[in-house]
């Protein structure tokens, strides 16, 4: 009997790198001329980011700065779920940005159906917030990885634990 090969599909964010990107963005905001004297603040909680500024324009600029720092630190931009802008006290605005970790059930079903559409001899199963793909041939698994990299599911996917 042939031994099965497998790999896991996950969606993870390195929170230490995310913290570093937030710290760098905060430092740049403090040094920029257009933010001098303004009440711009960026706070990272465990799985969310709270932004507050004087107006919508400054919130957008803060997000742009954060995204540029994330790119430099290899943190995926797709992990940010930007919430709507809300009014806060004393004429300021605030926004909550959620950091997405794990694969939701709906996205997992979408990925599994996409893998089945490829007509390769592999099986995909949902395991909590990740997927496991198994198959008899390494080449089939590598083809699945290549197809997943080509398609955009709206979340960042990583293929880990390749076992043969």
Predicted local distance difference test score (pLDDT) of residue 159:
84
CA-CA distance, 78 to 98, in Å (whole number)? 11
Domains 5-12+103-163 and 15-99 share a fold: yes
* CATH class of the domain comprising 15-99: alpha beta
How do the domains of the chain map onto residue ranges? 5-12+103-163, 15-99
Three-class SS string for 4-63?
Answer: CEEEEEECCCCHHHHHHHHHHHHHHHHHCHHHCCCCCEEEECCCEEEEEECCHHHHHHHH
> Looking at the predicted structure, is the pLDDT value of residue 1 above 60?
no
pLDDT at 164 over 80: no
CATH of the structural domain 5-12+103-163, one choice from 3.40.50.300, 3.40.50.720, 3.40.50.12780, 3.30.70.860: 3.30.70.860
46-103 pLDDT, tens digit per residue, is 889 999 988 888 898 999 999 999 999 998 888 888 889 888 778 889 999 999 888 8
Q: Are 101 and 88 in contact (CB under 8 A)?
A: no
């Amino acid at each position: 009997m042939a031994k099965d090969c497998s790999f896991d599909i996950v969606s993870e964010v390195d929170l230490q790198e995310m913290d570093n990107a937030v710290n760098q963005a905060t430092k740049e905001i403090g040094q920029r001329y257009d933010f001098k004297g303004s009440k711009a603040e960026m706070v990272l909680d465990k799985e969310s980011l709270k932004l507050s500024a004087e107006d919508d324009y400054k919130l957008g600029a803060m997000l742009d700065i954060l995204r540029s720092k994330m790119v430099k630190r290899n943190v995926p931009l797709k992990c940010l779920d930007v919430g709507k802008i809300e009014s806060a006290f004393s004429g300021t605005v605030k926004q909550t940005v959620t950091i997405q970790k794990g694969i939701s059930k709906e996205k997992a079903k979408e990925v599994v159906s996409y893998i089945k559409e490829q007509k390769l001899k592999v099986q995909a199963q949902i395991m909590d917030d990740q997927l496991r793909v198994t198959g008899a041939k390494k080449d089939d698994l590598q083809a699945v990885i290549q197809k997943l990299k080509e398609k955009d599911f709206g979340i960042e996917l990583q293929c880990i634990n390749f076992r043969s």
